[in-house]
Structure 1
Amino acid sequence: MKLNLLVAFVFSSLLAGAQLKPVAEKKLVVVSSYNQYLAAIKTDPRNELVEIKKAIPNITLDIRYATKNNFMQQVMYKQARAFARKPVVESLKKIQSELNKKGYGLKIFDGYRPYAITVEFYKKASDKNFVANPAKGSKHNRGCAVDLTLINLKTGKEIPMPTPYDSFSAAAAAKYENVSPALKKNRDFLIATMAKHGLHVLENEWWHYDFVNWQRYDLMDIPFEKL
């Protein structure tokens, strides 16, 4: 009986030790080599970061991070350009075409975001729920997220939405209910149109859309100037 108790004690001790052993975290892989990026395109053309304005000439850009008109209140991008992976841009092209037939168009605030910028955002953001944690990286870093809104095609003016872009308020949430019927209709119309083409809204930001196949793309830290 004593022997059995001793064996049980030793076994439970070993088991507890195994449970306490720290699990090695998977190392974050971020592509910062331009040559490595070019090699990835040769392997699979879908890896290309396409300049949105060149692919869709009538799309409107308002790249806030190339100005001081953003939550950081400083210029983060040296160039006012927007990129996304090739399949994302192909979806945006279809969305723009569909919207144009209804008198609307897209205004792009942001697309691909170099990883180093995400690190800076996280350091300064007062509400970490509205910025990606660098420990995991952002879908923007993968070239698989776009921030955008709707405009009136004739006037070029933004269609009213529940909040401005990059608002940290509760009303920025995609399903926030305490808004006027008109604002809810505009927001839900945008969300539904994007979803039809594989771009799904982020829960707490009505303007942020993630591409359905984002998992297959690497995190990137290549500046706009090299693209």
Structure 2
Amino acid sequence: MTNPSPMPAGRSPLAGDAFSSARYKSIARKRAPAKAGYLLAFGLFVAVSGIAHADQPPDLSPARTSAEANLVDIRTLVPDIAEDIKYAGRDNFVGAPVDGYRAPKCFLLRPVAEALARVEHDLRARHLRLKIWDCYRPARAVADFVRWAHDLGDQRTKAQHYPTLDKSKLLGDYIAPVSGHSRGGTVDLTLERCAAENAHCEPLEMGTDFDYFGVRANTDTPGLTPQQRENRSLLRSAMEHGGFQNYPLEWWHYTFTPEPTPHTIYDVPVQ
């Protein structure tokens, strides 16, 4: 999203991460059901987000494989890129592997993957590297997030991911039924600094963990240390140079622009 809409008072920073009313350009954690339930889910999204407009709703692609969707594994371009695909394991806000993630892989639409590979190449000349947490996200994974948000008895990840919030407040403000990640052009990542031989890399301190529900995750939030602010700026500069735009309310979240398929979401499993 180039110019995110201002957030109403009291709304969470992630609530703006859907489709903008002008061109469906928002880009954060909007969670979407798949296949037969998709139209119902989009209606819920409109109700939750308060968006009413005549723009084209996203289409659910009929693609059944990554090849049909033109999704490629980033490691076919950068075999040793650092990855920690959170939703394929238990270290995430759901606390369990997420539906649709059958392998810890990063898939992106080919033009996006090629652009990300160029960013990685440029960073290595400065003894820096990317570390990827999430890329393309199947629509069924987004539906899994919504199911989790309805289960108020499951509080296992509160201390790490939403320590200052009641879980009942997450659905709608933080978790909604459509995700920009499902369009294949968005990536969640951080930066690592490496020794001179580009080995022994360590993540830079950014001020929060990935998927922190709170204003401290905002890219330019007050209260960061000078080093944390510099590290976030370093990541943003590298990604913008490669054609990616930051979602200002999540420092780790970048979308390639222009998106190759801005009105299409996919439900191909990550495998």
| Category of TM-score, reference length = shorter chain | 0.7 to 0.9
Q: Which amino acid aligns with 1:104?
A: L
Alignment of 1:95-174 (within 5 A): 95-125=119-149, 126=167, 127=170, 128-131=172-175, 133-134=176-177, 137-153=178-194, 154-174=199-219
Equivalent-residue separation in structure 1 for 2:137 and 2:259 (angstroms): 14
Distance 1:129 1:104 in 2: 34
Secondary structure at the counterpart of residue 114 of structure 2? helix
1:213 to 250, 255, 258: 258
Secondary structure of 1:206's counterpart equals coil
* Residues 116 and 197 of structure 1: CA distance in aligned 2, closer, same or farther (over 3 Å): same
Q: Aligned ranges for residues 186-201 of structure 1 at < 5 Å?
A: 186-201=231-246
Partner of 1:80: 104
Aligned-CA RMSD value:
2.3
Contact 1:139 1:214 in 2 (8 A): no
TM-score, normalised by the number of residues in structure 1: 0.77
Q: Which residue of 2 aligns with 1:10?
A: none
Q: How many pairs were matched up?
A: 193
> What is the DSSP-based 3-state SS (H/G/I as helix, E as strand, rest coil) of the residue aligned with 2:252?
strand
Q: Deviations over 1:140-194 (max 9, x none)?
A: 1010100000112332221111111111121100111211001000001101110
- Is contact 1:66–1:78 with CA below 8 Å preserved after alignment? yes
CA contact (8 A) 2:130 2:191 kept: yes
CA–CA separation in structure 2 for the residues paired with 1:150 and 1:200: 16
In 2, Cα distance between equivalents of 1:49 and 1:144: 10
The structure in which a higher percent of residues are helix is 1
State the structure with bigger RCO (CA 8 A, min sep 6), 1 or 2.
2
Quick one: distance in 2 between partners of 1:186 and 1:35? 37
Task: Find the aligned partners of 2:242 and 2:65 in 1 and give their Cα distance.
Answer: 31
Match of 1:141, SS state, is helix
**Secondary structure, aligned partner of 2:94:** coil
Task: Please give the per-residue CA displacement for 1:98-132, whole angstroms capped at 9, x wherever unaligned.
Answer: 1101111011101001011112213434424444x
Structure 1 unaligned segments of length 5 or more: list them. 1-21, 39-46
Partner of 1:70: 92
Decide whether aligned partners of structure 1 residues 181 and 99 sit closer, same or farther in structure 2, where only a CA change above 3 A counts. same
The amino acid of 2:127's aligned partner reads G
3-state SS in 2 of match to 1:177: coil
Structure 1 equivalent of residue 247 of structure 2: 202
Identity of paired residues, percent? 30
> CA 1:149–1:35 in structure 2 vs 1: closer, same or farther (change >3 Å)?
closer
Query: Computing the radius of gyration over CA atoms, which structure comes out larger, 1 or 2?
Result: 1
Q: Distance in 1 between matches of 2:183 and 2:96?
A: 23
> Could you tell me the TM-score, scaled by structure 2's length?
0.65
Task: Give the letter aligned to residue 106 of structure 2.
Answer: A
Match of 1:31 among 61, 71, 90: 61
The 2-side partners of 1:151 and 1:181 are apart by: 17
Q: Counterpart amino acid of 2:234?
A: F
d(CA) in 2 for partners of 1:148, 1:156: 15
Cα offset, 1:36, TM superposition = 11
Q: Which runs of 5+ in 2 are unaligned?
A: 1-51, 150-166
Does 2:227 align with 1:182? yes
